Amino acid sequence: MKRKVHLFSSLSDGLFAGNICRSPAAEAVFTDLVRKRGAESKFKIDSAGTIGYHEGDPADSRMKGAAKRRGIEVTSISRSIRPSDFREFDLILAMDMQNREDILSAYERWRFKEPLPEDAPKKVKLMCSYCKKHSEAEVPDPYYGGPQGFEKVLDLLEDACESLLDSIATENSHASVS
């Protein structure tokens, strides 16, 4: 059975979630780690924003460049979260608290319109909760900052994604992802 990991992003000011910086980078970092461990067939990995401000756009060129310097290709195209994500994915990772609240609010709105799993809110976790080497509670939004912000985001994502993958491997030792 494929493990389904879904990575989300939000701008830290909470005004909109564009899915062009943090979440596509998280998707790319996690995908790269999964590929390096030879476990691609065991995962479905995706990213989305909490609104469609940049729907259909590629990731921010600065984020793509920072990731490329680390040997990671960011190729996802922005899309918005949708109700089916709560059925399709085992884990939904938010980059910050505002994003987590937006995801949970979307779930509350949608669950009255269509059947969604009652346990879906338990699937929504903060990305940094998986960090081992960093103490930040949230992945900061690098959009309005300089190059160092994109590097910091990648540092956090690499830490969290590595720990997440290790955690999944430990939970499912039969999955052979380590």
Residue 105's nearest CA partner among 131, 129, 133, 124 is 124
Helix (H) or strand (E) holding 162: helix 147-171
60 is catalytic: no
Backbone φ/ψ region at 48: left (φ over 0), alpha (ψ -120 to 50), beta? beta
SS3 17: coil
35 is catalytic: no
Catalytic residue among 22, 32, 60, 159: 22
Long-range contacts of 164-172 (CB under 8 A, 24+ apart): 164/5, 164/30, 164/93, 164/130, 165/30, 165/33, 165/34, 165/37, 167/130, 168/3, 168/5, 172/3
Q: How many CB atoms lie within 10 A of CB 73?
A: 11
Catalytic residue among 46, 60, 85, 141: 141
Structure tokens at 102: 């937006």
Catalytic residues: 22, 141
